[in-house]
Structure 1
Amino acid sequence: MLALAARFSSAPHFNQKPNVVKGEEFAESAKDMYYCCLRAAQKNTLEFLQGCTLLAFQLYLHGPTTEGWMVIGTCTRLANELGLHAIDFQSESDVFSPVSLEWSKKEGLRRVWWSVWELDTFSAAVACRPQTIDRMTMQVKLPVSDKNWFADMFMESSIINPDPVHSWHTLRDCPNQDERAWFLLINYFLLTAHDLGQQQNLQRKETQEIEKVISCYTLLLPPQFNLLEDLNPSSFRPNRVSNFNWIIVTNIMLQGCRVFVKLLHDDASTPRFWSSSRNLLTPLAAESQFRAPEARYHICTDQIIRIIRMWPPEFIPYASPFIGCLVLGPAALHLRVAMGHRQAAGDRSDAASLEEELLKLALSHIAMYCRFGAFLLDFANSITTAKQLE
């Protein structure tokens, strides 16, 4: 926790240190404690799981690594062993002890679970590997707002139906309308589309179904998710920056879903998402995997550009840095489409378009506090450099 917080600290102790390295001494101590606990083979506890989850996030801030992948694996196994995957399982015999916990404590357990789930799904998707968590067995309600939880104010929520055809209306008529709950739901659909892409015999009907599901979800989104030009970010300052960021990243992820579905449509009979490469970002970059005409993706890229234009720069570092992958787009399609604007504008082929610059500048704000952002920025620059050398 100290390692994560130190990046934003103005304490004299960190003078002259770049933001991205401020917490490294704490991170090394956390790693030492983690391996010490593993060697001691102590009884698994919620506190240990919470520490492992924070450590996994800290490790992935430096980019996808084998060490981070292994720690996430520890998190998923611990979460299952502690029964968090079934925290809201209901039965007549009330077998699961968490059911008897008061609401606020139970809500805290849900939050731990969803943090682990996010790490597992991201690490699996970026590496084109199967996720560890079996979403078919999940019985966990979506988290409510921080305001309700901190004030111990009960609010009913819903469990995501594992069948995508029925999951899109999870939050319809639900008292819980928190922005993060809607984000987790679209994250679930992105994972579903990604899983379809890994199938060896994908049926067009499945692609059409997930496309309709995403359309239904879009029409069901609450009004605050409509990014109108007169949307005023100042109304979210200073205590609701996270709410605004959830709105932004939900819209970015929605475009990511649409790109995935288009990719599936382009080659539904021979899916290209699967990769056995050890380079975890190869699936993101490999243009050869996706022989799709870039013109089909202009609408999605234009929407991404519009979303970033409405994102206050000072808000960007406080969002999940992992969203940077979808700023570039699956197979870096948003970047590739933006590069196509060079010729459209009649500029020199080696001069970046404004759209390219906008995408990279968004990544640069992530990179101010997170090596993963710098990693993505270098990755984007390598793609544009390679294009110039063709």
Structure 2
Amino acid sequence: MLNGMFALSARFSNAPEFIGIDPTCRDQIFVKRATELWETISKDFKHCLRTLPCLQGLILLTFSSLLSGPSEDAWILSGTCVRLAYDLDLHTTDAHRQHEGGSPQQNQEYRFVHVLLPVSDHDWDNRTQAPSALLNANGGMPWKHLTESPNQSERAWFLVCLAVLRQAYDAAVPPGASVERLHHAEAVIGCAFLALPRSFQDLSMSGASWPTSHVTFNWIACSLIVLNWYALCPLQNETLQPADVRPPRIYLSTIIEVNRAARLLSPQHLSLCSPFVCCALVGPSTVHVPDDHILIESQSASLCAETIRLVLSDVARHWSIGGILLDIIDYKKTSKPASPAGRCSQTPFTPEWRALVDDIF
């Protein structure tokens, strides 16, 4: 677990040991140690696998692996995390059930870490007793419990937005989905937008508030980017009639909203938000924003493309996935990736990547 934490935090360290090392490469020694420990545990200490700390450490290792893009190791680790979570019975844990044989401290750890949505950092740091809400991820309205809760943490709303996106995606993207299911998925996204707290709507674009509110703005921006992603998802469905296909002006309007959210991310703290949210920016860049060499009538579309590239370039300074996403954009625009010299990436932009991108777009 410690090596996983060090792997993520080393890229932001000012320690003299990291002078001259690219921030995206500083995690490698810790990832190597964590991988070796995991292999040893899974081979020689199988009795230690079914523990929550082991799952937490494995999640950190998986996070680091996924930052380098799709790979066999990353998929295997992701699957192992899911299986271990099932082994720990986390899928049946709820706020009213005690784990048989567990101590009161373990029971509280399971209930409040896994099930309840997180409260604000202020309440957590001050150990304030703040009521929260359950994430009803399998229900038709994942936001319902949170709208009725005193807990209005921006991070909690981000997790709800992820649940909403997953639900809409699962309903609409599979081939053969009916038009009714597509319309229902769009209605779910629309309701989620309306359910967001007022603070998500009354956003200040002034940089003066960034130094003290960058964490809040990051969660808000990531939530809005996640919800808008569905509207930008190219629905490849044979049952769609021309009247059911979204017109280009709808895409452009949504792209502008995505860029407005992206601009909420403070330049000084851009790399502190979840790097995987940047995956939601690739769709607008590769599918709906015109190529640079094509004459563009709309200045807004041109600036949107530039904004997305600048955001990914900034993220790429600390996270390999930012550079990988830029490679994907270059590949879709020119049919060949343009990897900058010196970029540290454990997974190159391979032919398998290109096949994956072609399947998605």
Q: Deviation of residue 216 (structure 1)?
A: 1.7
**Contact 1:335 1:359 (C-alpha < 8 Å) held by counterparts:** no
What SS is found at the alignment partner of 1:314? Answer: coil
Q: Which residue of 2 aligns with 1:269?
A: 239
1:384 aligns with 2:354: no
Q: Deviation of residue 236 (structure 1)?
A: 5.1
- Give, as a single letter, the amino acid of the residue that structure 2 aligns with 1:60: L
Between 1:334-343 and 1:62-71, the stretch displaced more is 334-343
**Contact 1:253 1:326 (C-alpha < 8 Å) held by counterparts:** yes
**Contact 2:131 2:150 (C-alpha < 8 Å) held by counterparts:** yes
For residue 288 of structure 2, the aligned residue among 310, 334, 337 is 337
Residues 361/162 of structure 1: CA separation in 2 closer, same or farther (3 Å cut) = closer
Q: Which residue of 1 aligns with 2:167?
A: 192
Q: Deviations over 1:64-94 (max 9, x none)?
A: 2110111111111222222222332536xx5
1:73 aligns with 2:25: no
Residues 71/160 of structure 1: CA separation in 2 closer, same or farther (3 Å cut) = same
Residues 150/309 of structure 1: CA separation in 2 closer, same or farther (3 Å cut) = closer
For residue 7 of structure 2, the aligned residue among 3, 9, 30 is 3
Residues 200/309 of structure 1: CA separation in 2 closer, same or farther (3 Å cut) = closer
- Runs of 4 or more, structure 1, over 6 Å off, are none
Q: How far apart, in 2, do the equivalents of 1:96 and 1:148 lie? A: 30
For residue 245 of structure 1, the aligned residue among 218, 225, 237 is 218
Residues 231/292 of structure 1: CA separation in 2 closer, same or farther (3 Å cut) = closer
Q: Deviations over 1:171-215 (max 9, x none)?
A: 122122111111111111111122124534422222222222222
Q: Which residue of 2 aligns with 1:109?
A: 113
What SS is found at the alignment partner of 1:176? Answer: coil
What SS is found at the alignment partner of 1:90? Answer: coil
Q: Which residue of 2 aligns with 1:373?
A: 322
For residue 46 of structure 1, the aligned residue among 47, 52, 57 is 52
Q: Which residue of 1 aligns with 2:346?
A: none
For residue 152 of structure 1, the aligned residue among 122, 127, 133 is 127
For residue 82 of structure 1, the aligned residue among 80, 84, 88 is 88
Q: How far apart, in 1, do the equivalents of 2:14 and 2:215 lie? A: 21
- Give, as a single letter, the amino acid of the residue that structure 1 aligns with 2:70: P
- Give, as a single letter, the amino acid of the residue that structure 2 aligns with 1:251: L
**Contact 1:252 1:307 (C-alpha < 8 Å) held by counterparts:** yes
**Contact 1:251 1:307 (C-alpha < 8 Å) held by counterparts:** yes
Q: How far apart, in 1, do the equivalents of 2:180 and 2:104 lie? A: 42
Residues 149/80 of structure 1: CA separation in 2 closer, same or farther (3 Å cut) = farther
Q: Deviation of residue 373 (structure 1)?
A: 0.8
Q: How far apart, in 2, do the equivalents of 1:219 and 1:346 lie? A: 29
Q: Which residue of 2 aligns with 1:130?
A: none
Q: How far apart, in 2, do the equivalents of 1:294 and 1:45 lie? A: 50
Q: Deviation of residue 163 (structure 1)?
A: 4.9
Mark the runs of 5 or more structure 1 residues left unpaired by the alignment.
Answer: 111-139, 272-290
**Contact 1:46 1:82 (C-alpha < 8 Å) held by counterparts:** yes
Q: Deviation of residue 295 (structure 1)?
A: 4.1
Q: Deviation of residue 345 (structure 1)?
A: 3.6
Q: How far apart, in 2, do the equivalents of 1:96 and 1:206 lie? A: 41
For residue 278 of structure 2, the aligned residue among 311, 324, 341 is 324
Mark the runs of 5 or more structure 2 residues left unpaired by the alignment.
Answer: 337-361
Residues 232/29 of structure 1: CA separation in 2 closer, same or farther (3 Å cut) = same
Instruction: Count residues in correspondence.
Output: 325
- Give, as a single letter, the amino acid of the residue that structure 2 aligns with 1:57: F
Q: How far apart, in 2, do the equivalents of 1:178 and 1:99 lie? A: 29
Q: Deviation of residue 254 (structure 1)?
A: 1.3
What SS is found at the alignment partner of 2:140? Answer: helix
Residues 299/72 of structure 1: CA separation in 2 closer, same or farther (3 Å cut) = same
**Contact 2:162 2:226 (C-alpha < 8 Å) held by counterparts:** yes
1:364 aligns with 2:313: yes
**Contact 1:204 1:268 (C-alpha < 8 Å) held by counterparts:** no
Alignment of 1:54-73 (within 5 A): 54-73=60-79
Q: Deviations over 1:285-313 (max 9, x none)?
A: xxxxxx97644411111111222233221
**Contact 1:168 1:214 (C-alpha < 8 Å) held by counterparts:** no
Q: Deviation of residue 359 (structure 1)?
A: 0.9
Q: Which residue of 1 aligns with 2:347?
A: none
**Contact 1:165 1:210 (C-alpha < 8 Å) held by counterparts:** no
**Contact 1:256 1:326 (C-alpha < 8 Å) held by counterparts:** yes
Residues 103/258 of structure 1: CA separation in 2 closer, same or farther (3 Å cut) = farther
Residues 161/310 of structure 1: CA separation in 2 closer, same or farther (3 Å cut) = closer
